[in-house]
């Protein structure tokens, strides 16, 4: 499949998922996981309301069928059917008639972006509300208005999905994306689409690492997974949180809390050597689920890859974050970057030089050009000399690539050739 086809496929998925009203629980998440499951077979977990997860408790499940504000003429001046952003997430049911003045404390607008609907939620404080365009609000008369939110907030479940590509080792690479946002394309349907496509591509290989893809509601979903997988956490050797994967900005990598973990170095290496414009920023305890994976008790080597980062673009958390805001090309570029990251992770090893005293005689092993004196020594031979020189158990192949300024693949190929000749062995 070409890069272009990948991009088209991911964009089609974004458009298909866009209308669904997702939240941290409820049928929107289930429908979303069903659709992702058409591409990769997901294992679905349903965790009951009231389950204690770390410092949190799984909340009641929220579902919504309809919501509106009707004026005296019966016209829906705000209509959930037009955009699910119109309702504050987790709004309790309401059915009432009230004046604009009474209604006003339940209305949220963006005065600075009067044409856009904001995205708001209130998961843990029982309330209700509507989000609307400031422009709409300006046209509203004193009322009265008929206000309806046909939602339910009841015992149920929190739902998340997992997909595992088994590797040759139990050590895991975690790829996580949040599935709790309603009609917002970049945040995070693009991340879901890239994760899904990456999972399918990895499934076509026989990878070294086990790759675990998590499709979970933000915060409470990651916390729930962590709470139910305490023993598995130690197997997570590398990880990426994918979000905002489709806008037109440059790629941004936010380091793990550890700051110089292997994933941090690999992503930096890929971004630098690919020639892509990019940003690398330090960890901060805000943003997406890296907040949970990088809490001090877990402190996992999990970074976050986005294009324009969290809250960094004016369309963020508004109705302008629609499918036109993300492009097939940008998602394909994010996907390729993730893929290249796995290409380095998969081969990055420590080798041990078994003939460390002086250089071994490469020539008699057919590993070295026979005619001396020439100064145009080839990359292959330089890569072998570097691998031999630095394979003291302390340097990984990535260390060697960075120090030698040779491509990682050339260094890894050299290590493979030297291993074939019995000159190095895999160390760790």
Residues that bind its own copies (CB under 8 A): 54-56, 88-89, 118-125, 127, 219, 222-223, 226-227, 257, 282, 284-286, 291-292, 294-299, 311, 316-317, 353, 355-361, 363-364, 370-375, 377, 382, 385-386, 388-392, 403-404
Beta bridge partners of 174: 212, 239
Least Cβ distance, residue 95 to its own copies (angstroms): 22
Q: How far is CA 210 from CA 50, 130, 202, 362, in A?
A: 32, 44, 10, 35
Residue number with CB closer to its own copies (207 or 239) = 239
User: What is the rounded CA–CA span in Å between residue 245 and residue 265?
Assistant: 20
Least Cβ distance, residue 198 to its own copies (angstroms): 25
Least Cβ distance, residue 257 to its own copies (angstroms): 7
Residue number with CB closer to its own copies (215 or 386) = 386
State both tokens at 26. Answer: 């409820």
Taking a C-beta distance cutoff of 8 angstroms, is the pair 324, 301 a contact?
A: no
Whose tokens are 């990878």? That residue is 207
Q: Tell me which DSSP letter residue 235 carries.
A: G
Residue number with CB closer to its own copies (3 or 227) = 227
Phi first, then psi: what are they for 272, rounded to 5°?
-65, -45
User: What is the rounded CA–CA span in Å between residue 328 and residue 61?
Assistant: 34
Residue number with CB closer to its own copies (337 or 404) = 404
Residue number with CB closer to its own copies (257 or 307) = 257
Taking a C-beta distance cutoff of 8 angstroms, is the pair 330, 10 a contact?
A: no
Residues sharing a CB contact under 8 Å with residue 192, sequence separation 6 or more, in sequence order: 13, 17, 32, 36, 177, 179, 215
Taking a C-beta distance cutoff of 8 angstroms, is the pair 304, 283 a contact?
A: no
Q: 262-274 and 397-404 are packed helices; what angle lies between their axes, rounded to 10 degrees?
A: 40
Least Cβ distance, residue 64 to its own copies (angstroms): 16
Residue number with CB closer to its own copies (89 or 167) = 89
Least Cβ distance, residue 42 to its own copies (angstroms): 23
Residue number with CB closer to its own copies (364 or 428) = 364
Least Cβ distance, residue 352 to its own copies (angstroms): 9
Give the other-Cβ count within 10 Å of 405's Cβ.
9
Beta bridge partners of 302: 239
Residue number with CB closer to its own copies (335 or 400) = 400
State both tokens at 82. Answer: 């037009």
Least Cβ distance, residue 213 to its own copies (angstroms): 20
Least Cβ distance, residue 367 to its own copies (angstroms): 12
User: What is the rounded CA–CA span in Å between residue 224 and residue 229?
Assistant: 9
Phi first, then psi: what are they for 183, rounded to 5°?
-75, 75
Q: Tell me which DSSP letter residue 405 carries.
A: T
Whose tokens are 């070409």? That residue is 2
Least Cβ distance, residue 74 to its own copies (angstroms): 30
Residue number with CB closer to its own copies (167 or 182) = 182
Beta bridge partners of 279: 252
User: What is the rounded CA–CA span in Å between residue 115 and residue 395?
Assistant: 55
Least Cβ distance, residue 147 to its own copies (angstroms): 19
Residue number with CB closer to its own copies (74 or 296) = 296
């Amino acid at each position: 499949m070409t890069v272009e086809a990948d991009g088209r496929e991911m964009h089609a998925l974004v458009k298909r998922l866009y209308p669904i009203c997702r939240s941290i629980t409820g049928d929107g998440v289930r429908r979303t996981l069903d659709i992702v499951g058409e591409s990769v077979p997901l294992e679905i977990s349903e965790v009951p309301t009231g389950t204690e997860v770390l410092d949190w408790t799984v909340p009641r499940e929220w579902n919504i069928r309809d919501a509106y504000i009707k004026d005296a003429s019966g016209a829906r001046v705000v209509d959930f059917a037009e955009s699910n952003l119109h309702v504050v997430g987790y709004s309790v049911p309401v059915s009432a008639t009230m004046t604009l003045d009474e209604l006003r404390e339940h209305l949220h607008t963006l005065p600075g972006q009067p044409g856009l609907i904001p995205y708001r939620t209130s998961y843990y404080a029982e309330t209700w509300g509507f989000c609307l365009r400031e422009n709409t609000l300006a046209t509203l008369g004193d009322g009265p208005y008929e206000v309806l939110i046909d939602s339910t907030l009841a015992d149920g479940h929190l739902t998340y999905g997992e997909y595992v590509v088994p590797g040759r080792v139990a050590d895991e690479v975690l790829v996580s994306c949040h599935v709790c946002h309603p009609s917002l394309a970049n945040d995070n349907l693009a991340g879901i689409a890239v994760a899904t496509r990456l999972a399918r591509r990895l499934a076509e290989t026989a990878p070294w690492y086990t790759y675990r893809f998590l499709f979970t509601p933000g915060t409470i979903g990651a916390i729930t997974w962590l709470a139910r997988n305490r023993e598995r956490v130690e197997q997570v050797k590398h990880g990426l949180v994918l979000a905002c994967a489709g806008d037109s900005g440059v790629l941004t990598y936010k380091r793990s809390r550890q700051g110089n973990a292997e994933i941090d170095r690999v992503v930096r290496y890929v971004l630098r050597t690919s020639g892509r414009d990019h940003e690398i920023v330090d960890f901060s305890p805000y943003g997406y689920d890296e907040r949970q994976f990088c809490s001090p008790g877990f402190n996992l080597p999990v970074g976050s890859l986005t294009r324009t980062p969290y809250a960094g673009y004016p369309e963020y958390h508004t109705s302008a974050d629609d499918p036109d805001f993300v492009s097939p090309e940008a998602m394909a570029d994010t996907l390729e970057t993730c893929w290249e990251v796995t290409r380095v992770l998969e081969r990055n090893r420590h080798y041990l030089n078994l003939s460390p005293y002086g250089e071994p005689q490469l020539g008699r092993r057919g590993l070295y050009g026979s005619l001396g004196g020439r100064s145009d020594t080839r990359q292959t031979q330089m890569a072998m000399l570097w691998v031999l020189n630095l394979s003291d158990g302390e340097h990984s192949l990535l260390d060697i690539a960075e120090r030698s300024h040779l491509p990682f693949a050339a260094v890894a190929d050299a290590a493979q050739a030297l291993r074939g000749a019995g000159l190095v062995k895999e160390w760790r």
